[in-house]
Amino acid sequence: MATVRGATIIAESLKQQGVEYMFGIVGFPVVPIAAAAQKVGITYVGMRNEQAASYAAQAAGYMTGRPQACLVVSGPGVIHALAGLANAQSNCWPMILIGGASPIVQNGRGAFQEEKQVAAAAHYCKYAHAVEDARRIPFYVEQAMRTSFYGRPGPVYLDLPDDVILQEVEEGSFQTAETIPDAPRPQALDENVESALSALESAERPLVIVGKGMAWSNAEDEVRGFIERTQLPFLASPMGKGVVADDHPLSVGAARTLALKEADLIFLMGARLNWIMHFGLPPRFSKDVRVIQLDMSPEEIGTNVPAEVALVGDGKAVVSQLNRALDERQWFYPAETSWRSALAEKAEANQATVQPMIEDESAPTNYYRAFKDIRQWLPDNAVIVSEGANTMDIGRTQMPNNSPRSRLDAGSYGTMGVGMGFAVAAAAVHPDRPVVAVEGDSGFGFSGMEVETMCRHKMPVKIIILNNGGIGGGMDELPADKPLPVSVLTPRARYDLMMEAFGGRGILVEDPKDLRSALDEAMAFDGPAIVNVLLNPRAGRKPQEFAWLTKDE
């Protein structure tokens, strides 16, 4: 009778449940899993650090709508990948981590890389389990995958001991699993839909906030329909950008601080009132702000600020309910209100504040001048990856996103070091679209070695490093006396040469007048490229009304 090996059952089960990409690093005991995955047609991307691989898997899951896989070795491999589980959990993104484990028969003996992996992973996961027999693999893979992307998405973990990976079982001697259907899309109660619309009608200064729950639920057509129908001003969370185009006339993203502070009612769509949204509290929000909250997770409703109306359900389903209910109403938010003009004035004033920096031609350059060329050069269909403090914050305001799920950044967990893994994922999932990673020099450094992955896999990622020689900013020269200031990095470091080392293109830009041609050259190059833009170490952000991480009152 024919037999089949554990590794093959894993690969076939993952494939059956929609895994198309596996990011990982092989070694004991997972080599057979990677090889089997390739055999069944899963794209295997071998990376240089498990952390970056775990970031790649979750970004791929967010972009494809199904959990994608990360494969790591036992012990330290799993520990490195915990970073990705934590980040995925914080962002509500799906992924499945497959960890090799020491053989069951050696448990407790001090085996090579023996670790309590399920316990370690469980804290950062919706589901974590060890597979004790190869015949149960289809069951566990189905359960893990389904848990990952049904309801609020999140990471899951499966532990695969060496002896299960190598176990030979008779074909037909075990139960296979059903293929998991698309995630259910629950609707809100009709009465709450009506209450939400009535609340919006009664508001003087309404604001819609679009978060990445709407991007995840593919609600872009419904949300744009709703915004255009109601004519409500909206702004997007960092990764909610692009669900409705940033250049939409109803976007008030350019007056974000004022919009949040003065709104008397916010309609929170698939976004949380966490630190990114300043908890919904004063001084960043008005004390009595009313909240309509749409979320997949009932337990999220009322976090930090009680919700006047709760719409619990799937973003796409609930906004289409709202749109249908609007058919029965003639209402839209009027064209001329003092709220609209205040927001428009503020957006104009903000633009005027940064204009001198945009026009400053001195070398080395500042952020706003650099983004002027990047913005004009950026292809409309680009996937934008971004991390770094000022690089990411200023870039968010200066680089438009006009399509959904096309911005990947440090996210809800504020993680530095995600960029290279995200860029690898974007290149794998969207080989037909330009992938542009705009990185601070510090952010890039966390996983800089993944440029070798990009070169080896022929992923034409264009990396722009805004290089100010430090965490935050650095110095013109390193001082001779020790100790070094804690936030400095090497001034004028030649990150561009790293890319050349592996066969990509690297370009150094010392003067802003050379930036545009460098960007064009990078785009024209048939492969990955780094444009290393030297920045004035003292370049900063436009003055902000509130300190970063404003404390509540």
- Give contact residues for ligand ADP (rule: CB under 6 A): 91-92, 152, 211-213, 216-217, 237, 239-240, 270-272, 274, 276, 295-297, 300, 314-315, 412
For residues 341, 344, 349, 355, the Cα torsion angle rounded to the nearest 10 degrees is: -160
Query: Which of the choices Mg ion, ligand ADP, none does residue 211 contact, using the CB cut-off of 5 to 8 A by kind?
Result: ligand ADP
Q: Which does 468 bind (CB under 5 to 8 A by kind): Mg ion, ligand ADP, none?
A: Mg ion
Minimum gap (Å) between residue 276 Cβ and ligand ADP: 5
Q: Which does 445 bind (CB under 5 to 8 A by kind): Mg ion, ligand ADP, none?
A: none
Sort 376 into a burial class: Cβ within 10 Å, 0-12 / 13-18 / 19+. exposed
Give the shortest CB-5-to-Mg ion separation in angstroms: 48
Closer to ligand ADP by CB, 169 or 276: give it.
276
Shortest reach from residue 371's CB to ligand ADP, in Å: 22
Q: Which ranges in 327-438 belong to alpha helices (H)?
A: 338-359, 367-377, 389-398, 419-429
Interface of this chain with Mg ion, residues 256 to 285, rule: CB under 5 A:
none
Of the candidate residues 74, 117, 442, 453, the single one contacting Mg ion (CB under 5 A) = 442
Kindly tell me which of 52 and 489 has the beta carbon lying closer to Mg ion.
489
The per-type count for the chain, helices as H runs and strands as E runs, is: 20, 19
Residue closer to Mg ion by CB (options 2, 486) is 486
The 8-class DSSP code of residue 545 comes to: S
Q: Hey, what are 170's tokens?
A: 């008779």
- CA atoms 313, 315, 320, 325: torsion sign: positive
- Tell me the site size for Mg ion, rule CB under 5 A: 5
Residue 296 binding result from Mg ion, ligand ADP, none, given CB thresholds of 5 to 8 Å by partner type = ligand ADP
DSSP string spanning 78-144? HHHHHHHHHHHHHHT--EEEEEEE--GGGTTS--TT---HHHHHHTT-SEEEE--SGGGHHHHHHHH
Judged by beta carbon, residue 162 or residue 314, the one nearer ligand ADP is 314
Q: How far is the CB of 544 from ligand ADP (least distance, A)?
A: 20
* Tokens found for residue 487: 């936030």
Q: How far is the CB of 81 from ligand ADP (least distance, A)?
A: 21
Residue 387 or residue 441: which is nearer to Mg ion going by CB? 441
8 contacts Mg ion (rule: CB under 5 A): no
Q: Which does 216 bind (CB under 5 to 8 A by kind): Mg ion, ligand ADP, none?
A: ligand ADP
Site for Mg ion in 381-440 (CB under 5 A): 440
Angle subtended at Cα 528 by Cα 527 and Cα 531, rounded to the nearest 5 degrees: 130
- Nearest CA-CA partner of 419 in 393, 396, 397, 451: 451
Closest distance to ligand ADP from the beta carbon of 186 (Å): 9
77 binds, among Mg ion, ligand ADP, none (CB under 5 to 8 A by kind): none
DSSP 241: T
Closest to ligand ADP by CB, 272 vs 290, is 272
Report in angstroms the alpha-carbon separations of 357 from 246, 369, 378.
22, 6, 20
Measured in whole angstroms, the distance separating CA 371 from the mean position of its chain's CA atoms is 21
Of the candidates 27, 34, 95, the residue with the CA atom closest to the CA atom of residue 63: 95
Q: How far is the CB of 441 from Mg ion (least distance, A)?
A: 4
Among Mg ion, ligand ADP, none, residue 213 binds (CB under 5-8 Å by kind): ligand ADP
Residues 449-468 that bind Mg ion (CB under 5 A): 468
Q: Which residue type occupies 465?
A: I
Provide, rounded to whole angstroms, the least separation between the CB of residue 467 and ligand ADP.
Answer: 28
The residue from 441, 452, 496, 514 that contacts Mg ion (CB under 5 A) is 441
500-531: b (≥16 Cβ within 10 Å) or e: bebebbbbbbeebebbeebbeebbebebbbbb
Give which of 219, 155, 182, 203 is closest to 65, Cα–Cα.
Answer: 182
Is 217 or 532 the residue whose CB approaches Mg ion more closely?
532
Of 295 and 373, the one with the shorter C-beta distance to ligand ADP is 295
Q: How far apart are CA 390 and CA 470, in angstroms?
A: 12
CB under 5 to 8 A by kind: which of Mg ion, ligand ADP, none does 441 bind?
A: Mg ion
Q: How near is the Cβ of 274 to ligand ADP at its closest, in Å?
A: 6
Contact of 258 with 235, CB cutoff 8 Å: no
Residue count of the chain, please give it. 553
CB of 180 to ligand ADP, least distance (A): 16
Task: Point out which residues bind Mg ion (CB under 5 A).
Answer: 440-442, 468, 470
